Amino acid sequence: MSEEPEAKKSKVEDDANSSEEGPKPLPAGWEKRMSRSNNKEYYLNVYTGRSQWDRPTKPAEEDTKLPKKVQCLHILVKHEGSRRPSSWRTENITRSKEDAEKILRGYQKELNALDKAERKRKFKQLASEFSDCSSAKRNGDLGPFGHGQMQKAFEDASFKLTIDEMSDVVDTDSGLHLIYRIA
């Protein structure tokens, strides 16, 4: 008999998460996604880009402190471990991750020695000449983007920057980046 309440409890919980037609819809502002690394569903707050494992019970709240969109320039240096180790500049990229980081640290040092106006101009020049991203033809400009549009590490770094601020080296599946927020 002691097991019966447990069975009823889980039935009640199952009923709370489903209806005659199937699972209940998610509260406003949430998306269900699948984690490739954990092979498990998770839930994404579309306003803030934050995720959680537990199914949300209340509508997502907007984080009014964070901008909805940012615009950034970036310099991508790919390495042999990048998702696609090729670019418009080099068909087969064989440099090590360490070498890619040394290249970006050199650019970072050069850029940090400049005043704000000159830094932005030089960043664009470096991006157009040396970035492994196709955005090089636009001086590294990715255009405006919102939460959930870029790889998580790139997005997190971009949204933490203030306008005219440059990131440290950011590591993503695409390679290593320097990011410069312009809007």
- Residues of the chain with confidence (pLDDT) below 50: 1-19
Question: Which residues form the catalytic set?
Answer: 74, 133, 151, 174, 177
Class (C level, CATH) for 69-181: alpha beta
In this prediction, residue 3 carries a pLDDT of 38
Angle between helices 97-112 and 116-130 (to 10 degrees): 150
Q: Are strands 30-35 and 141-146 parallel, antiparallel or unpaired?
A: unpaired
Residue 180, strand partner residues: 73, 166
- Each residue's pLDDT tens digit, 33-47: 998 888 999 988 887
In this structure, are residues 31 and 46 in contact, taking their beta carbons and an 8 Å threshold? yes
Q: Give residue limits of the domains in the chain.
A: 3-52, 69-181
What does the alpha-carbon distance between residue 161 and residue 54 come to, in Å, rounded to a whole number?
Answer: 29
In this prediction, residue 35 carries a pLDDT of 86
Compute, in degrees rounded to 10, the torsion defined by CA atoms 42, 46, 50, 56.
-50
Residue 77, strand partner residues: 176
In this structure, are residues 176 and 100 in contact, taking their beta carbons and an 8 Å threshold? yes
In this prediction, residue 144 carries a pLDDT of 94
Angle at 37 between CA 144 and CA 92, to 5 degrees: 65
Choosing among 2.20.70.10, 2.170.190.11, 3.40.47.10, 1.20.1560.10, the CATH entry for 3-52 is 2.20.70.10
